[in-house]
Amino acid sequence: MVSSASEDVAAGRRPRIGITTYLEPTIWGVWARDASLLPRVYLDAVAAAGGVPLLLPPVGTDPTILDVLDGLIIAGGCDVDPSSYDAAPHPETVDTRPGRDEHERILIRAALDRDLPLLAICRGLQMLNVTLGGTLQQHLPDAVAHDGHRPSPAIFGTTDVKVEPGTLTARLFGDRTSVQCYHHQALDLVAPALRVTARAGDGTVEAAEVDGHDFAIGVQWHPEENPDDLRLFTALVAASRRIL
């Protein structure tokens, strides 16, 4: 008889953590083709936290893949298509990937249905909110009047975050933390099922958790960019072992 993922982990196997990927025009060697890709920092963070990273490209989406996973990460990336939340596109909303949006929407719903440990990062938090019925601020500088959350191309900003007490976020980070961020979109109308657990000083939602789930958390920052702070990844892997 084939054992379940949870039985395998209980027997000592390292938890398998699925991570959604990009599908982008890519150049390597003599080739220029579309490819599924993901920054290595995600893989290194999962491995360092004790998990095994498995890539989930936005092709051939099948939610039953979660049956062989112990946890799921919805990774960062491009802008979410405004049609996902019935909005007209802002001039600064570019390079959307509707196919990836649908892929991640399916996996998010399936993970929540299974109560599979879920970590949503940057765009991932935005997709979590949209999937549950929320909306996005398409260009954050319009709302906060500064570019601190994305200072310049390929340069991460530093954001001080205040955390709500009595939350999973507070268990991991205390009442305040400083994080690396790179985004020009953010949560606007927060989905009813989400509880905001951290905000930046300008009011931007920086973390949220899904009500009724032991480990379903999204952060607007990029924890994978700080190899010296693996708290979110370690907590995800622990939850995937059901020992959090």
Does the structure show a pLDDT above 80 at 8?
no
Q: Which of 104, 206, 224, 225 is catalytic?
A: 224
Mean pLDDT computed over 165-179: 97
pLDDT of residue 145: 93
Based on the residue annotation, tell me whether 102 is a catalytic residue of this protein: no
Tell me the per-residue pLDDT of 68-81, one tens digit each, with 9 for 90 and over.
999 999 999 999 99
pLDDT of residue 11: 54
Mean pLDDT computed over 133-162: 95
pLDDT of residue 242: 83
Based on the residue annotation, tell me whether 181 is a catalytic residue of this protein: no
Mean pLDDT computed over 174-191: 97
pLDDT of residue 160: 96
Please choose, from the candidates 215, 226, 144, the residue with its C-alpha nearest in 3D space to the C-alpha of residue 181: 226
pLDDT of residue 6: 55
- What is the domain extent for residue 21? 5-240
Tell me the per-residue pLDDT of 10-40, one tens digit each, with 9 for 90 and over.
557 999 999 999 999 999 999 999 999 999 9
Dig out the tokens for 228 from the structure: 């010296």
pLDDT of residue 244: 42
Q: Per the confidence metrics, is the pTM higher than 0.85?
A: yes
pLDDT of residue 12: 78
pLDDT of residue 7: 58
Neighbours of 30 (CB within 10 A): 5
The CATH number that applies at residue 129 is 3.40.50.880
Q: Which of 104, 122, 181, 183 is catalytic?
A: 122
Mean pLDDT computed over 125-134: 98
Residues 129 and 191: beta-carbon distance below 8 Å: yes
Tell me the per-residue pLDDT of 188-240, one tens digit each, with 9 for 90 and over.
999 999 999 999 999 999 999 999 999 999 999 999 999 999 999 999 999 99
pLDDT of residue 119: 98
Mean pLDDT of the chain: 94
Residue 154 pLDDT level (bands cut at 50, 70, 90): very high
What is the SS3 assignment for 134? coil
What is the SS3 assignment for 43? helix
Element (H, E) at 238: helix 231-240
Q: Which of 103, 149, 183, 222 is catalytic?
A: 222
Does the structure show a pLDDT above 60 at 3?
no
Residues 163 and 175: beta-carbon distance below 8 Å: yes
Does the structure show a pLDDT above 90 at 157?
yes
Number of domains in the chain: 1
Based on the residue annotation, tell me whether 92 is a catalytic residue of this protein: no
Does the structure show a pLDDT above 60 at 243?
no
